[in-house]
Amino acid sequence: MEEDFQLTFIRFIDELSPSHLNLLKFFINNEEEIKFLKSYPAIYQLISRNNTSISKNQFKLLIGDLNIRGLIHISIDIEDFEEIYQASSILWDETNDELPRLIVTDIAKKFIHFISDYKGLGD
């Protein structure tokens, strides 16, 4: 099973950019602060304080790529940027504000550890 993850991680190295890795490392290092933020704008604002080089659209692309690969999980209840997307439907169930909106997976932590072991790729 571990070999399967290593092959997947090698594929991720080929597919993900340094910006993806920097964002993922930021999420890991700030996991407790990020997981209860309720919107993409709040997460983006936190990231922007540390790195202002990505636009909102780039941020959404990067975060989507990480989510699709199972490196993070994003709640469907997270609020989007108003200028990018506005929901047109009514939510029938109330959102539980005590649950995290963004979670860094154990696979992500293993991936960062994996690339950090190889000649400075994780730096």
% pLDDT > 70, the chain: 77
Give the domain extent around 66: 2-85+100-116
Q: Count the domains in the chain.
A: 1
Q: What is the DSSP string of 50-82?
A: H---S-HHHHHHHHHHHHHTTSEEE-TTPBPPT
Let me know if residue 92 belongs to a domain. Answer: no
The whole-number average pLDDT for the span 15-32 is: 93
Instruction: For residue range 30-61, list pLDDT tens digits in order.
Output: 998 888 888 889 999 998 887 667 888 899 99
- From residue 52, give the alpha-carbon distance in Å to each of 7, 19, 46, 47, 49: 33, 12, 10, 8, 7
pTM of the predicted structure, to 2 decimals: 0.79
Let me know if residue 13 belongs to a domain. Answer: yes
Let me know if residue 94 belongs to a domain. Answer: no
